Structures are given as structure tokens and as C-alpha cells.
Copies of this chain bind each other. A is one copy, B any other.
Amino acid sequence: MALGHERYHHRHPFHLLMHRGELTCGQLQAWALNRYYYQSKIPMKDAIILSRSDDPAFRRAWRKRILDHDGGDGQSGGIEKWIRLAEATGLPAERVISGREVLPGVRYAVDAYLNLVSQRSHLEAVASSLTEMFSRDLISLRLDALREHYPWLEPGLAYFTARLTQAPEDAAFALDWVTRHAQTREQQELVIDALRTKCDILWAQLDAIYFSYVNPGWPSPGAFQP
């Protein structure tokens, strides 16, 4: 789909640097710490979407996402796996979990995602998850690149290996559901717009990180200093 090709964050210069092994350890720390804020909100985002459906079949399918991220019953979830990744960059878990040093620009973008799924139609909320259609290729490429250029990250890569199978399953369900529920031209345009907005939300997080830690700009007052 053209939109994903153009706007998905696999093309963001921060990711291009990562895949070429050109990020420093401090820049990877900044990414892991800031992106944790996004990861930590995913189950809340999915619970909002679940709460807006009056269809038990939809809700049963969607709750898998909450389990995948929150874990439990002896399974570690995506959030815990992301903490392992942050620790592999050299950050203490507590510093990451506290959220104290998250860039404001990252925080606002993530919060915009929660607003989207709360305030737009249920169709648009579901459609915003369709970026997962593009995530498998990005994660697959990223795993190879991280293993090659940053082998010391290996103990932190379980998040990505789990997503290699989770994301395509989730995307297939959401794509089927959206296709069945977006019948009119107007609904299809809402779907495209929700997906575009979600791409912006992912892209804006990396802009804030790139500007503060690569370009070089300056981290906002109080934000993480590598």
C-alpha cells in the first residue's frame, strides 16, 4: 500500500542510521527509553478500542493484544521484554519505567494515539492499528541489523522475535475487519486518514529523538541525557 511505503517509519533517518550501525550506544538508550513510553501505553490503547465494541467476537479477538503486551501467568509480555531491551542498552529498569526523562514531543505523540482511539470512530480506531501490516518487514530487517552491529543487545531482542509472529496475526484480523466494515467511499477515506495519522504519530516520535540526540539539537529541559 502506497501510504505505508511513503509514510511508515521504516524510512525515518533514525531507523536508517540504526540499520547501518551508525547510532551510538547513548542514542540507542535514548530510543529505548523514549520508545518505552509508547510501549507502555499500548495495552491502554487496546483496552480503549476493546471498550468501544459491542461485539463479543471482536472483543475476544482484540484482547489477545492486551495479553501479548501485559503478559501474566508466567509469560513475560511485550512491555517487560522492552525493559529487557532497555537494560541491554545499559539503562536501569527503574529509570525507564519512571518515564521521568521522556521527551515531551514523544509524550505528546503517544498521547495523540490514545486520543485518536478514544475520540474518532471505532472504525478509525481499529484502522489506526493497520501499521502492523508494515511492521514485520521492519522488525525482520532490524533484528538482522542489531545482531550484526550491536551484538551486545542480543539479551534484549526477545521483544522483536515475539512481534515477528504476533504482528502479522493482529494485522490480518484488523485488515479483514476493516475491509468488511469500510464499505462506502467515505468510510474508506476515514480508514486511510486514520492510517496516515498513525504513521505521523510514529514518525513524530523519531523526529523528536533524532532532533534531540542525533542532529544535534538539544534534549528538552529535564529530558534524558545519555
Q: Which residues of A contact B (CB under 8 A)?
A: 6-7, 13, 104-105, 107-109, 111-112, 115, 199-201, 203-204, 207-208, 210-212, 215, 217-218, 220-221
Contact = CB atoms under 8 A, between A and B. Distances in A.
B7 A200 contact: no
Given A111-B115, A220-B207, A104 B215 contact: no
Contacts of A204: 104-105, 108, 208, 220
A207 B210 contact: no
A108 B200 CA distance: 10
A208 B105 CA distance: 8
A200 B105 CA distance: 9
- Nearest 7 CB-CB pairs, A to B? A108-B108, A211-B211, A104-B200, A108-B112, A104-B204, A105-B204, A108-B109
- How many monomers of this protein are in the complex? 2
A92 B104 CA distance: 31
A7 B217 contact: no
Contacts of A7: 221
A104 B7 CA distance: 13
Given A105-B105, A109-B108, A207 B201 contact: no
Residue with the greatest number of chain B CB neighbours at <10 A, chosen from A115, A207, A211: A207
Contacts of A13: 218
5 contacts: A13-B218, A104-B204, A107-B112, A111-B115, A207-B217
